[in-house]
Structure 1
Amino acid sequence: MSILALDHERPYVSELSPSRRRLALLSLALGGFGIGATEFVAMGLLPNLAAELLPGLYTASPEEGIAQAGWLISAYALGVVVGAPTIAAATTHLPRKRLLLWLLAAFTVGTIASALLPSFGLVLVARFVAALPHGAYFGIASIVAADIMGPGNRGKGVALVLSGLTIANVVGVPSITWLGQVAGWRAAYVVVALIFAATFAAVAATVPLQPGDHTGSFRRELTAFRRPQLWLTIALAAIGFGGFFAVYSYIAPAVTHVAGLGEGVVPWVLAGIGIGMTIGNLLGGWLTDVDVRLTLYSGFAVLILSLLGFALTAHTVVGLVLFSALVGLSSSAISPTVQSRLMDIAGEAKSLAAALNHSALNIGNSLGAFIGGATIAAGFGYLSPAWAGLLLAIVGLAIATVSFGLQRRSIRS
């Protein structure tokens, strides 16, 4: 049966029963779970990836091998940055359910390729390709979820879809990381591909029909880029979230080399970060519907303090676990706030704005992974990414302050 045919078999939002609404929302969140797994599982498997794909370099210098394996994280992030705005802008006129199914099919194929290709260069390309649907999926799924939940619940709808990603960091990423350590990193990506295949079936069965924006066009969506506030919001998210990813990308060597713990502890630390991310996402979604500015300022303040605490105390078990979880909590509280702000200032380009949040986050992913890897390769140690991340978060807060200041000035004038 074709994806096109599936568009004609399900009811519209207004025709859904309460139970069908819940199932549809869970299906959308399951996609977020798969995305969280495919994006973050590499963080805990960098030593394994380096050992198999870069054996000569890893044997000669584990630090340089792990730093180069971090390019896989940056390649995925770059794919999100490229794919999110282009796919969202070019497909705004398509029925949303059909578009979600195409995106999930692309996720499945790209992740299988990541698991099967033999060399570092080919896997690098596969990670880039697998990331292209990422931002568009979250953007479209967030719009669909908000419509299903009803008026006044946009922040909660965004948070619900993102909850799949954060829950993945509690359950999926630690368990798949453990599987990758035991059975090989390729087995980990096979499991992720199966999650995407299951999501495809769930979305096809439960998500209601939603027409695309028939008045939308690629050109109209791109007009949002004329707004300075859009660029400032992208910048504060990209640079600010670099602080989180600088730490998260290299959490495995922080556990084993800084705290002196065994490799088997890595999944448990990842689970702690995931719990923090889940709490932060739900809290941020609720607070965003109350006060966007206060939520953004508070999230950045806690992120800065958490990164400082991590840099100073990660050599202890308590400091490592506590502050890594707080880094996850604070960064995830910011995410639904940024997405809601982008949708507020983008005018009619809602699809593009919803996707741009994930472009911004993954610029931060790429930036944090690159800077963190560079500081490690330069010999500054496995805690140096946390200090670099602290500086990035401070810059993000400064940009947020400028953005809201300019907004207040324009309102007064």
Structure 2
Amino acid sequence: MPIALWALTISAFAIGTTEFVIMGLLPEVATSLGVTLSAAGMLVTGYALGVFVGAPLVTATTGRLPRKTLLMALMVVFVIGNLACAMAPDYSTLMIGRIIASFAHGAFFGVGSVVATGLVPKEKQASAIALMFTGLTVANVLGVPFGTWLGQIYGWRATFWAVTAIGVLALAATGWLVPRSQGGEAADFGRELRVLGRPQVLLGLAMTVLGFGGVFAAFTYIAPILTDISGFAPAAVSPILLLFGVGLVIGNLAGGKLSDRRLMPTLVGSLVALAVVLVLFGLTNENKIASIVGVGLLGMAAFATVPPLQMRVLEKATGAPNLASSVNIAAFNLGNAAGAWLGGLTIDHGPGLHAVPYVAAILPLAGIAVALVSWRMDRAAPLPATHQPQAR
């Protein structure tokens, strides 16, 4: 793989760390700033909504910039946002810093996916996307635990100083390693929206929301499942979640390799695997050993879906790849928020915590139905002979 991909991976590591590390620092932030735990939790929600809004907005308004220039500008925004967090004297400033940083998130992964696919031959494009997203998965394995430890020992601001430093490193790596590119065409928002309105693009976005909605419906409540149902002590949760992070890395790389060979079979197969793992986790999570295995498998199944979901949208959105890819990143975050809401609804107004994995499995099952409809549409409308079949 080209060395330029590693610059994208470093940036993804920084972005992934700042997104998720706040979850481990909520008590420290709440105590330090004198706010409630639920108010501190809104820092997670604010970031997710910032990604959802910022990804398409930033991408649509920067279409004329060369992609390398845009990637570097986004990392500057990321550094500024995290620097604001590190220096935040109060809750409002911290929230503003989080939102600023989040605006770089979706657009970076969207444009980065387009850049990554342009660096390699067609048969390696999904693997290139997977390598970039490996930074995000490694952030969950190493960045988040280390950032949590750093914040607990030296204060939560120390974590954001560290992330800021990684962001500067990623900015330098992007400037040094990523090749120059030409500017895009003048932004035609109406045309790009028409591309997003294509049935196959909309179906791809729906698959993303449903697939990751299932992941986060269960994963958001993984800690209480492990303590209240599986019977683990709270101190055991963090080590177990390391297995989830390892599973993310394995699943992400495997999903990329398989997608390069057969995109739609991999997409459907990964959603099937996710649904099966969620159901099995619900059936076996009263057993400690089975729960540990289930957490690792959940990580593998979750990120095995990422390369094919991202590649599918890119494949169908010719004419607006930057915007479509960024909107798909927004769709991942919409799935995160919707899944967490559905899991909470199941606990508070439904059958309870034990049923969360089963309810979560409904979403990827719906995603499978959407994928099969999309695949059938491919077969019903073959491309001209000069093109590769889209339903690989």
Pairwise TM-score range, normalised by the shorter structure: 0.7 to 0.9
The 3 A distance-change label for structure 1 pair 231 and 50 is farther
2:123 alignment partner, one of 152, 156, 178: 152
Superposition pairs of residues 7-406 of structure 1, within 5 angstroms:
21-22=2-3, 24-46=4-26, 65=38, 70-117=41-88, 123-214=94-185, 217-378=188-349, 382-406=353-377
Find the aligned partners of 1:280 and 1:356 in 2 and give their Cα distance: 23
Judged with a 3 Å threshold, the aligned counterparts in structure 2 of structure 1 residues 308 and 183 are, in CA distance, closer, same or farther, namely: farther
Q: Unmatched 5+ residue regions in structure 2?
A: 384-392
Aligned residue number for residue 378 of structure 2: 407
Conservation of the 8 A alpha-carbon contact between 2:65 and 2:184: yes
Identical positions, percent: 39
Distance (whole Å) between structure 1 residues aligned to residue 355 and residue 83 of structure 2: 34
More moved, 116-125 vs 358-367? 116-125
Cα-to-partner distance string for 1:301-340 (whole Å, 9 max, x where unaligned): 1111111222233344323321122122112111111111
Deviation at 1:217, TM superposition (A): 3.4
State whether residues 36 and 166 of structure 1, in contact with CA within 8 Å, keep that contact through their aligned partners in structure 2.
yes
CA deviations on 1:39-66 (whole Å, 9 max, x unpaired) are 222344455556666765x5xxxxxx4x
Measure the CA separation in 2 of the matches of 1:77 and 1:280: 23
Residue 392 of structure 1, CA deviation: 1.9
Q: Could you list the per-position Cα deviations for residues 199-256 of structure 1 after superposition, in whole angstroms to 9, with x for gaps in the alignment?
A: 1122122222111223553333222122011111111111221111122223333344
Say whether the 8 Å CA contact 2:141–2:246 is kept in structure 1: yes
Which range moves more in the overlay, 92-101 or 119-128?
119-128
Report the AA paired with residue 274 of structure 1: G
TM-score (norm 1): 0.83
TM-score w.r.t. structure 2 length? Answer: 0.87
- In structure 2, relative to structure 1, the CA distance for the partners of 1:121 and 1:313 (3 Å cut) is farther
Write the distance in 2 (CA, Å) between the matches of 1:379 and 1:188.
Answer: 38
CA distance in 1, matches of 2:150, 2:236: 13
Structure 1 gaps, min length 5? 1-17, 59-64
C-alpha contact (below 8 Å) 2:231/2:288 kept by paired residues: no
Please give the secondary structure, in 2, of the residue aligned with 1:214.
Answer: coil
Deviation at 1:179, TM superposition (A): 3.0
Deviates more, 1:176-185 or 1:130-139: 176-185
Question: Which residue does 2:386 correspond to in 1?
Answer: none
Residue identity opposite 1:42 in structure 2 = I
For residues 84 and 341 of structure 1, the distance between their equivalents in structure 2, rounded to whole angstroms, comes to 18
The structural deviation recorded for 1:119 is: 5.4
Q: Paired residues, what number?
A: 383
